[in-house]
Chains A and B, each alone.
Chain A
Amino acid sequence: MTFENSTLGEILKSAFSAKVWGEMMIPALGATMYMLVMALIIMLIFGILLGDLLYMTDKNGLTPVPALNSVLSAIVNALRSLPSMIMIIITIPLGRMITGQGYGPNACIIALAISCIPMFARLVSNNLFEVSQGKIEAARAMGAGNFTILTKIVIPEALPALIRSFTVAVISVLSMTALAGAFGAGGIGHIAVQYGFNRFRYDILIATVLVLIIMAQLIQFLGDAAARLVLKKRHMM
């Protein structure tokens, strides 16, 4: 199904055919979803931990440790400046160390999660800094300790912003899973490279682009809805 042997109409028809979707897209979508969800769980745990740490140790944070903060900040910034492709290549050996394999979905999950943690951690710490100093001081004046202030005040107050950041992160992990497909991870990206790029199967290329766009839209919609729900509950919009 290249433009040499088929018309645009035939390509489009095939792009929406049961054969393409049933045999390739749906299974690939399953693999992509698996990688996405697993990578997000890891990113969520470590990203929030690292983001909290960046926030807590900042000179304007709850428990300033400027030396540690500078080191963490420098590492996060350095990692964030690398293009995702480079990050995936760099982190694949780490995936191998953890899963015993340098290829396949599980190694890629590790690579994806590690690639996204610095970005998500920075978003989290920025969101936490948005919580007004006044609220923190009010809690402090009541005798609340730093851990209580972080978990009971700062994080809940920042929740709508945190949901928005997570939405951004989900979409970038999604685009990275597609990229990781090119490195043997399977899923939508693999299909796109294997058929679309190597064999000029434009029908499949169109189908993969469609899937990615729909997924990104859906994620954005759900993220916005969740953030709005929280704000509505608090009568803040």
Chain B
Amino acid sequence: MSSPFIEIKNLYKSFKNSKGETIQVLEDVNLDIAKGEMFGIMGFSGAGKSTLVRCINRLEEPDTGDVIIDGMNITKLGTAELNKRREKIGMIFQTFNLFDSMTVFENIEFPLKATIKDKEKRKQRVLELADVVGLAEKVYDYPSQLSGGQKQRVGIARALANEPDVLLSDEATSALDPQTTLTVLDLLKKINREFGVTMILITHEIEVIKYACDKVAIIESGKIIEEGTTVEVLEAPKSKTAKIFTGVESSLAKAWEDKKGGAR
């Protein structure tokens, strides 16, 4: 078997809290992600999901360990090389993080300014991207004029601008209603299919995993405690966390049974 497209090896990350104590947020994380995969990472709030995904493009510096993408060790890159590589690692966020001072067009154009010097060519690319995410009609609007789903589409277009081979998604659908979540996931699936972009989707919503991910890893207190294909993990969850997510061991389900019992 060929080596994985993204390899995370023995990754550790700690923070100092306000009292100056060290808190271990990631502990010996190891993951192999194949090219073109939609890889989900699911865990409760505070499990270390964001920290993990931010270590991949080094928005957060890992303490030790390696992140290797397509044979290149990201943790070893200098600032200039890292910035160059980041152009091809898209990232989308729960809060969209669009630039309010810019139109949709300018938001998508921003990452292209470093890579396409010709203004006309850049414009073509922006319009092409707006079309991919279905916002051709909205290019001269400002972010404040858009709905949540539309904002995330702009975020996606912006992340795809420089034809990335990796897309990192940190709870990209968590601020959206269930219906909009599905349309955004449909778009991500389409992009994965058509452009072969490898995706890492961080989420605390099992629907996202079920709907969009080929594989899933469960993270708890900074450790990967379970991993496999989505069907494997969700059909036969082993860890308590996975059981809670799948509803096998859900206090919500239990409470609901009790409530129905009480009404009878």
By a beta-carbon cutoff of 8 Å, the part of chain A in contact with chain B is 132, 134-135, 137-145, 152-153, 156-157, 159, 233-236
Contact = CB atoms under 8 A, between A and B. Distances in A.
A143 B114 contact: yes
Nearest to B168: A141
B183 interface: no
B144 interface: yes
A144 B59 contact: no
Interface string B84-106: 11110111010101111110000
Nearest to A139: B110
Contacts of A132: 95, 97
18 contacts: A132-B95, A137-B93, A141-B57, A141-B59, A141-B168, A142-B86, A142-B111, A142-B161, A143-B82, A144-B110, A145-B79, A152-B110, A157-B101, A234-B144, A235-B144, A235-B145, A236-B142, A236-B144
Given A234-B142, A234-B144, A156 B114 contact: no
- Please report whether the interface of chain B is mostly helix, strand, loop or mixed according to DSSP: mixed
Contacts of A144: 83, 110-111, 114
A143 B59 contact: no
Interface of B: 57, 59, 79, 82-87, 89-91, 93, 95, 97-102, 110-111, 114, 141-142, 144-145, 155, 158-159, 161-162, 168
B147 to A, nearest CB: 13
Given A141-B59, A141-B91, A143-B87, A135 B110 contact: no
A209 B110 CA distance: 49
Contact of B158 (A140, A142, A143, A234): A142
Given A156-B101, A157-B101, A140 B93 contact: no
B86 A157 contact: no
A132 B93 CA distance: 13
Contact of A135 (B59, B84, B99, B168): B99
A120 B258 CA distance: 63
B77 to A, nearest CB: 11
Which 4 pairs from chain A and chain B are nearest by CB?
A143-B86, A138-B97, A156-B101, A141-B91
Contacts of B99: 135, 138-139, 153, 156-157
A127 B101 CA distance: 15
A134 B59 contact: no
A4 B142 CA distance: 64
A139 B89 CA distance: 12
Contact of A157 (B93, B100, B145): B100
Contact of B100 (A140, A145, A152, A236): A236
B93 A145 contact: no
B59 A140 contact: yes
Contacts of B155: 138
